[in-house]
Structure 1
Amino acid sequence: MDNVVKQTELLEKTGVYDEDLKRRFALTLKYNGMKGKKVLVIGMNPASNSVQVFDNTTNYLLNNLGIMGYSEIVVWNLFADICTKLKPTQTGDNTENMEYLQELLNEKFNAVLIGWGNTFIGNRRVEEAKRQVCEYLKPHAKKVYELVDTDGEYIGLRTIHPLFAGQRFSGKWEFRNFVFPEEK
């Protein structure tokens, strides 16, 4: 065949788990050999204890952040318990997870994306975890963002979860500066 173009990208996937594989502290997705930016995505909870299994959220992150120029995506979640749907009872001791976030923030990121969505509003433990994360992020405030669509249809929503964004406006993602709670 003439005039054929081949493209190959090697995706390196690294998960950081506890010994029992019940808690995931980070998932790093990196396109080896591709120059680009590095983003830290803050979600709610991990859904899988295997780097071989991608959920829809991870696929949307790869597809949308990749076209935005990010070749390395590090996902850290507000809660480390691996489950398909987080329950309020799983928001207990979060010390180890928060310590891991502090370590992550020592790395160089071009952007930090708040994508924890809007579930558990009013839950005392979740709200406290969000406040704690915001405190850790204040020194990095100029590069902390949230998702919005390029058409402005969802402009009124805050901290949009990547799954929602992927289902509603995939391919039309852009970042807007995150407004820290006390600044509102």
Structure 2
Amino acid sequence: MENIVKETSLLERTGVFDEDSKRRFELRLTYNGMKGKKILVVGINPASNNIQVFDNTTNYLLNNLGVMGYSEIVVWNMFAEICVKLKPGQTIDNAENIEYLKGLLKEKFDAVLIGWGNTFIGNKKVQEVKQQVYELLKPFTKITYELIDNDKKYAGLRNIHPLFAGQRFSGQWKLRKYEFPKEEKTQKKEKDHANI
């Protein structure tokens, strides 16, 4: 056989957990031997404490971001509790997880992807954590993105979760500049009055 090419890539998977493996602070997926970019994906919560088994979200991240040139994918979730579906009661103590994000942001990333989806709209605790994340990401606004499809069929959606994107437009992922929410006038007025 002539003109054959053999390619091998080794996927290294690293998870960072608490002592009981009930909370995961980071999942790092690295294609060793591949030069590429590094991306931080901000999700909602981890679904498993087994780094040997990939859920659908992780598979979609690998299959789509890898093709886009990302050889290192770091997943951090707004809430560290490991569960299939996060419940509002599991969003109480999050200080350790936010501290972990502060440490992660000291690394150099080529992109940050907001992929927490649109669950828990109106939940005060979730909104509070999103606000904390926005504050920490302010220095990274130029490299913060969200998912969109090539055909822009889903252009009206914001904060698209990778699972939704994988099910609806896998192989068509594109990154769109993330628009950070503007501070509401009422909140600004309350702060101004507090400073008088």
Same topology, TM > 0.5: yes
Name the counterpart of 1:10. Answer: 10
Give SS of 1:122's match: coil
Name the counterpart of 2:192. Answer: none
Displacement of 1:183: 6.9
Displacement of 1:84: 0.4
In 2, Cα distance between equivalents of 1:23 and 1:84: 12
Displacement of 1:25: 0.1
| 1:89-124 Cα shifts (integer Å, max 9, x gaps) | 100110000000000000000000000000000001
Give SS of 1:181's match: coil
Name the counterpart of 2:69. Answer: 69
| 1:50-83 Cα shifts (integer Å, max 9, x gaps) | 1101000000000000010000000000000000
Number of aligned residue pairs: give it: 184
Give SS of 1:130's match: helix
Give SS of 2:147's match: strand
Structure 1 or 2, whichever has the larger Rg, is 2
In 1, Cα distance between equivalents of 2:149 and 2:135: 27
| 1:134-156 Cα shifts (integer Å, max 9, x gaps) | 00000111000000001000000
Give SS of 1:176's match: strand
> TM-score when scaled to structure 1?
0.97
In 2, Cα distance between equivalents of 1:143 and 1:154: 21
Runs of 4+ more than 4 Å apart: none
Aligned residue type for 1:6:
K
In 2, Cα distance between equivalents of 1:135 and 1:176: 20
Name the counterpart of 1:129. Answer: 129
Displacement of 1:2: 4.8
In 2, Cα distance between equivalents of 1:148 and 1:131: 22
Aligned residue type for 1:114:
I
Give SS of 1:50's match: coil
Gaps of 5+ in 2: 185-196
In 1, Cα distance between equivalents of 2:132 and 2:94: 11
Displacement of 1:4: 3.7
Name the counterpart of 1:147. Answer: 147
Give SS of 2:53's match: coil
Displacement of 1:8: 1.1
In 2, Cα distance between equivalents of 1:4 and 1:39: 32
Give SS of 1:163's match: helix
Aligned residue type for 2:26:
A
> TM-score when scaled to structure 2?
0.92
In 2, Cα distance between equivalents of 1:151 and 1:45: 29
Paired-residue identity, %: 72
Distance 1:183 1:67, change over 3 A: farther
Name the counterpart of 1:81. Answer: 81
